[in-house]
């Protein structure tokens, strides 16, 4: 959430951000209500000051034995006027809040303007695989090897759910352990294992609500949401807390399943693991000082890249354009891994800097020193990595002409085998 004072003083930049992010937010309506609100506040404060003077005058008149009936009547009339203005103020506060929470974060100046087609390749790593045969798509080789069951999962839970089995299930578990171990042992994150459901306030804090509610799975009886990413519970670990400056940066990593209805995405990438309603992901979340957040974004990106480099999977990093940027992010890098069987670049990670946008919504602050003025932390998060498309790349890039899959060397100690056959 943006500071209302910032919006007031940077109205044109905020309007430009709304336009470039393709959001539906009425900045002018917000500013008009804000003018009325500030005028009312001024009137209320002036009336209260007058009320204090009248109260003091009544006390003095009574002490002197003077008749104060008319002055008391004046005070009652003043009190009624204040009550009416306060009621009017309350009626303005709610629409201001509803308009404010729909204004997106401001894209950083380095973010290209435009839509998905305007995303910029920031860097690439690795050589594309050059098999002398055409690898099968992951969904075909997986079924041939009996490591992913698409049919039974669909009969059980509906379309876009999958069930891993045998070495497929072991690979899923191996990837999770491998990623968590790397982020803890090499990158210095603290592992957490959060709840898989979140309150409405937590979903609001990270920016999923109100915009993305239709894309979420909701438990109506308790008004709890199945988490779409570990970003939600992990960021909210410090909701409404005052952190110590000496403790920053705080870095967490977590494995969770993720649940997304993918509303509006039907008809796109429907085969195999490309787009499913429940998937596993390892997440990285950072709480940092404002002056360090851009360096921390590059470090976060590097941590995610380390996973793909260890798995020896070629990838590219994109700087997302404004129209492809999330509601809450100021800047985001997407990492896309190459999959030979379907000849596509597949997103496996998004690394984002939210500045103080989430911290304002979740009220996460810090003090640099004892007694110092509280400041909002900056929050960042990144996938390290999402598993489905990582698995796709392994099944297609490490495939042999005999219909087997070499296990990436980095995973072999976790899986206990070198070959899936």
In Å, what is the CA distance from 44 to each residue of 68, 94, 398?
24, 18, 71
Q: Which residue in 292, 347, 375, 412 is the catalytic one?
A: 347
Q: Exactly one of 293, 326, 349, 350 is catalytic; which is it?
A: 350
Beta bridge partners of 251: 286
Torsion of CA 104, 105, 106, 109, to 10 degrees: -130
Count of positions (residues) in the chain: 421
Beta bridge partners of 376: 365
Annotated catalytic, 368? no
Whether the Cβ atoms of residue 227 and residue 258 lie closer than 8 Å to each other: yes
Indicate the pairing of strand 190-192 with strand 250-259: parallel
Q: Which of 275, 340, 361, 365 is catalytic?
A: 275
Q: Catalytic pick from 102, 170, 239, 260?
A: 260
Closest CA to 1 of 101, 98, 96: 101
> Is 350 noted as a catalytic residue in this protein?
yes
347 is a catalytic site residue? yes
Annotated catalytic residue 260: yes
Of 170, 349, 389, 396, the active-site residue reads 389
Query: Catalytic site residue 296?
Result: no
Look at residues 287, 286, 247 and name the one whose alpha carbon lies nearest to residue 368.
247
CA 303, CA 282: separation in Å to the nearest integer?
12
Euclidean distance between CA atoms 50 and 82, whole angstroms? 11
Distance between first and last Cα of the chain: 51
Q: Which residues are catalytic?
A: 260, 275, 347, 350, 389
């Amino acid at each position: 959430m943006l500071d209302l004072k910032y919006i007031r003083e940077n109205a044109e930049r905020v309007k430009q951000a709304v336009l470039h992010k393709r959001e539906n937010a009425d900045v002018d309506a917000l500013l008009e209500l804000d003018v009325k609100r500030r005028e009312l506040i001024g009137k209320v404060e002036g009336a209260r000051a007058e009320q204090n003077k009248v109260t003091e005058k009544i006390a003095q008149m009574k002490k002197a034995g003077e008749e104060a009936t008319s002055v008391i009547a004046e005070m009652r009339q003043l009190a009624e006027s204040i009550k009416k203005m306060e009621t009017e103020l309350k009626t303005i506060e709610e629409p201001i809040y509803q308009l404010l929470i729909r204004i997106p974060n401001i894209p950083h100046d380095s973010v290209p303007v435009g839509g998905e087609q305007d995303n910029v390749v920031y860097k690439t790593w690795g050589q594309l695989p050059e098999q002398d045969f055409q690898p099968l798509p992951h969904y075909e080789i997986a079924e041939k090897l009996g490591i992913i069951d698409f049919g039974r999962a669909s009969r059980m839970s509906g379309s876009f759910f999958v069930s891993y089995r045998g070495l497929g299930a072991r690979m899923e578990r191996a990837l999770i352990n491998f990623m968590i171990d790397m982020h803890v042992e090499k990158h210095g994150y603290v592992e957490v294992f959060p709840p898989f459901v979140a309150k409405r306030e937590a979903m609001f804090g990270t920016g999923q609500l109100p915009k993305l509610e239709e894309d979420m799975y909701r438990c109506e009886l308790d008004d709890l949401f199945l988490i779409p990413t570990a970003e939600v519970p992990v960021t909210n670990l410090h909701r409404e807390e005052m952190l110590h400056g000496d403790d920053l940066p705080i870095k967490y990593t977590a494995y969770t399943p993720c649940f997304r209805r993918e509303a509006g995405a039907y008809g796109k990438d429907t085969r195999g693991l490309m787009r499913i309603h429940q998937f596993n992901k390892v997440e990285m979340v950072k709480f940092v000082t404002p002056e360090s957040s851009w360096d921390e974004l590059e470090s976060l990106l590097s941590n995610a890249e380390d996973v793909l480099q260890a798995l020896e999977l070629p990838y590219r990093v994109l700087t997302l354009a404004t129209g492809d940027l999330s509601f809450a992010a100021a800047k985001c890098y997407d990492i896309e891994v190459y999959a030979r069987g379907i000849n596509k670049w597949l997103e496996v990670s998004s690394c984002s800097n939210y500045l103080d946008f989430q911290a304002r919504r979740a009220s996460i602050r810090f003090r640099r020193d004892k007694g110092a003025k509280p400041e909002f932390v900056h929050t960042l998060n990144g996938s390290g990595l999402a598993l489905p498309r990582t698995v796709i790349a392994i099944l297609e890039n490490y495939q042999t002409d005999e219909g087997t899959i070499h296990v990436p060397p980095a995973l072999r100690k976790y899986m206990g085998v070198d070959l899936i056959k």
